[in-house]
């Protein structure tokens, strides 16, 4: 593994841990040349479906792009990075379980909204405003109603 600080090829693994689902391995490493430490992650590289965008073009699924859009929606919200990673993992697992070679971007957007709704209601409304392209206050109002309806149903089922 190449050191990100000095570029040296010789590094030593100082700690190895798996996440709860045992699908990601976290390795803590130390560069033998500059003695700096860094973390690497290993995950299974499965072939995710090609994304069909709204304009009809096709592109490879990009985990980093998905993470970026979720982080933007979650900006300044009290959600731990581990929870975001877990949500992305669930989205990827769902995409793989569909067994399709291609998937419309709208389907991915719906999966993201479902996960954001569980993580943070404000982030859900933020993402929905861009994803659904709200043009007036009515769109926001409907998204807020969706979130509050879910909350009142959850309260009723606990009673």
∠ CA 103-116-153, nearest 5°, is: 110
pLDDT at 158: 46
* Count of other CB atoms within 10 angstroms of residue 134: 16
Measured in whole angstroms, the distance separating CA 131 from the mean position of its chain's CA atoms is 15
pLDDT at 19: 81
**How far apart, in whole angstroms, are the C-alpha atoms of residue 69 and residue 82?**
16
Q: Cβ(94)–Cβ(111) under 8 Å?
A: yes
| Integer angstrom CA distances of residue 77 from 28, 41, 70, 83, 116 | 28, 25, 11, 12, 11
pTM for this one? 0.61
pLDDT at 126: 84
Per-residue pLDDT of the chain in tens (159 residues, 90 and over written 9): 899 999 999 999 999 998 877 778 999 999 999 999 999 988 877 788 999 998 999 999 999 999 999 999 999 999 999 999 999 999 999 999 888 999 999 999 999 999 998 999 889 888 887 776 666 667 667 766 777 775 545 444 444
Parallel, antiparallel or unpaired: strands 11-18 and 24-31 = antiparallel
pLDDT at 12: 95
pLDDT at 150: 59
Measured in whole angstroms, the distance separating CA 39 from the mean position of its chain's CA atoms is 19
């Amino acid at each position: 593994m190449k050191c990100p600080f000095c570029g040296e090829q010789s590094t030593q693994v100082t700690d190895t841990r798996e996440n709860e689902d045992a699908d990601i391995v976290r390795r803590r490493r130390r560069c033998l040349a500059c003695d700096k430490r860094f973390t690497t992650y290993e995950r299974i590289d499965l072939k995710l479906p090609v994304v069909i965008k709204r304009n009809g073009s096709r592109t490879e699924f990009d985990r980093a792009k998905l993470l970026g859009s979720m982080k933007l929606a979650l900006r300044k919200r009290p959600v731990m990075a581990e929870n975001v990673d877990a949500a992305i993992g669930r989205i990827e697992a769902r995409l793989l379980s569909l067994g399709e070679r291609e998937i419309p971007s709208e389907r991915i957007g719906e999966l993201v909204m479902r996960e954001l709704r569980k993580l943070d209601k404000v982030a859900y409304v933020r993402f929905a405003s861009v994803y659904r392209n709200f043009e007036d206050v009515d769109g926001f109002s409907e998204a807020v109603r969706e979130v509050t309806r879910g909350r009142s149903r959850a309260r009723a089922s606990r009673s």
